[in-house]
A and B are shown apart, each in its own frame.
Chain A
Amino acid sequence: MSFDLAFAASTIPTILSVVGTTIGVALLSCAGASILGFSLEMARRAGSIAGYAMRFAIDFIRSTPALAWLYFLYFVLPHWNVTLPALVVGILGLSIYFSGYLAEVFKAGIDAIPKGQAEAAKALGLHRSDVVFFILAPQMLRNVAAPVGNHFVSILKATPYLAVIAVPEMLGRAFDIASDTYRYAEPLTVVGIVFLLLALAIAHVVKVLERKFLGPTGR
């Protein structure tokens, strides 16, 4: 058996037909991971017992593989009578897995804001919520833009994990073709190339956006 280029080319349309699923899963997981990560970090900052619990939760998430989270949600949720579509389970799994990393990024982003900023805002008579939303949040976003962008690219590269819980995304499609034709090399190579190009393109977009929003001195 040799590598059949014509057959490889013939698999491209089938695999690309679900590129929308991949991108949709990635976008929703980015949103889920950011919201969850930010909430975890805010709860950790609250101090007291909740703070310690969140600290442990973040460390626990960071110490466990994405694959284990996907299996856990996929097999345990139905046992608790929570039946969700595999797609939703996948997005939930990636959101949880990456929330641990994003919580650390937000922590660093908030820690890096000089204390005087909040103090000055308070001294000027700004309301507490105004201090958070108009003084701290914009500066934190500037600080975290670059690392968050990198994690978003990582999330995109983690979407093929969903193939193991039978979500029909690009890797899943490639395996469908493989089991129909008994040829694994060609469809998998096609998926590999598509993902590499997609990841490089999105990494580039992230960099351009960073430069646009942070200016030439952006980190």
Chain B
Amino acid sequence: MTIVEIFVGIFEGFRVTATVTALGVLFAVPFALIFGVAQYLSKGVLRLAVTAIIEFWRSSAVIILLFVFYYVLPVIGIQLEAITVSAVVLGLNTGGYGSQAVRAGLQALDRGQLEAALALGLSRRHALTLIELPQALTRMAPTFINQFIQLIKGTALVSLVTLTDMTFRAKEIAELEYNPVGVYTALLLAYFVVCYPVTVFGRWVEQRIGAGRGLTSEF
């Protein structure tokens, strides 16, 4: 096999890599928004509970979380497909990181924004959804894009729970013929081809936001 053939063979796993990533985003985004906002707004015992849930998903080692959920859920009577378990674990882990970006973004806003919104007669809910969140999320966009790249790279772990993603394909090809240099170089290249455009997009967004912020601060 030439390196091109190996590369094409590895890319047969792209469908699984992309599916896990997309499903992971479906879990990550709501988690990050709900728990980030909840941590920002809540006080006392509720805040403690919210923080505990966030820390569980964020501070655990994701590779171990994946194995724990993959092996423990069936024991307590919950049968899920490997792809579902992977999407939930990788998604909520990324969501845990995302929630911290959401909260930090909200906390970093000028207090005057909220005070002005309330003074103009907006309800707390409207002040949050119309004034605070749009600014916080825009400012945090580069962070979210970085976390999205982390999620894509994290999906390599699903090869360890029998899903045929790009990494799993590489291991299959490596078993067919002895060419470690070709196979694992192609594997690194495959992820680079997928992730690098997102990195470039992230830089572009960062520059745009930087430029925009400079402009608005003048007025």
Choose one: B67, B72, B170, B171; the contact of A3 (CB below 8 Å): B72
User: A64–B67 contact, CB under 8 A?
Assistant: no
A75 within 8 A of B: yes
Q: Which of A3, A71, A158 has the most chain B CB atoms inside 10 A of its CB? A: A71
CB-defined interface of B154-194 with A at 8 Å, one 1/0 digit per residue?
A: 10110110000001001100100000110111011001101
List CB contacts (< 8 Å) of A50-96 with chain B: 59-60, 62-69, 71-72, 75-76, 78-80
Q: Is the CB of B156 within 8 A of A67?
A: yes
Complex contact A65–B153 (CB within 8 A):
yes
List of A residues within 8 angstroms of B180 by Cβ: 75-76, 78-79
The chain A residue sitting closest to B203, CB to CB, is A59
Do B63 and A185 have beta carbons less than 8 Å apart? no
Task: Establish whether residues A63 and B199, one from each chain, have CB atoms under 8 Å apart when the complex forms.
Answer: yes
B196 in the interface (beta carbon within 8 A): yes
Interface stretch, picked from A27-35, A37-45, A132-140, A192-200, is A192-200
Given contacts A67-B156, A188-B64, contact A72 B184 (CB under 8 A): yes
Question: Which residues of B138-160 have CB atoms within 8 Å of chain A's CB atoms?
Answer: 149, 153-154, 156-157, 159-160
Contact among A3, A76, A160, A203 for B64, CB-based, below 8 A: A160
- The answer to whether A160 and B153 have CB atoms under 8 Å apart is no
User: Residue on A with the closest CB to B178?
Assistant: A79
C-alpha spacing A4/B17, complex, angstroms: 35
Q: Mark A100-140, 1 if CB is under 8 A from B, else 0.
A: 00000000000000000000000000000000000000000
Chain B proximity of A169: nearest CB distance (Å):
11
- The main secondary structure of chain A at its interface with chain B is helix
- Tell me, yes or no, whether B137 is within 8 Å of chain A by CB: no
- The yes or no answer to A164 lying at the interface (CB within 8 A) is yes
Q: What B residues does A192 contact at CB under 8 A?
A: 60-61, 64-65, 68
Which residues on the A side are within 8 Å of B204 (C-beta)? none
How near does chain A come to B17, taking the closest CB pair, in angstroms? 10
Give every chain A residue within 8 A of B72 (Cβ-Cβ).
3, 184-185, 188-189
A181 at the interface (CB under 8 A from B): no
| Chain B minimum-CB-distance residue to A63 | B195
A195 and B64 in contact, given A63-B149, A64-B153, A200-B59 (Cβ under 8 angstroms):
yes
B58 to chain A, nearest CB (A): 9
Task: Check if A1 is an interface residue, CB within 8 A of chain B.
Answer: yes
Partner of A184, one of B64, B71, B195: B71
Question: Are the C-beta atoms of A76 and B181 separated by less than 8 Å?
Answer: yes
Chain A nearest Cβ from B18, distance in angstroms? 15
Other-chain contact of B184, A63, A75, A164, A185 (Cβ < 8 Å): A75
Q: Is A62 in contact with B199, judged by CB distance below 8 angstroms?
A: yes
Q: Which residues of B contact A80 (CB under 8 A)?
A: 181
- Residues in A whose Cβ lies below 8 Å from that of B65: 192
Interface residues of A, Cβ cutoff 8 Å to B: 1-3, 59-60, 62-69, 71-72, 75-76, 78-80, 153, 157-161, 163-164, 171, 178, 184-185, 188-189, 191-192, 195-196, 199-200, 203
Nearest 10 CB-CB pairs, A to B? A63-B195, A184-B71, A65-B156, A65-B153, A75-B180, A72-B184, A157-B61, A185-B75, A67-B156, A185-B72
B contact residues vs A (CB 8 Å cutoff): 55-56, 59-65, 67-68, 71-72, 75-76, 149, 153-154, 156-157, 159-160, 167, 170-171, 174, 180-181, 183-185, 187-188, 191-192, 194-196, 199
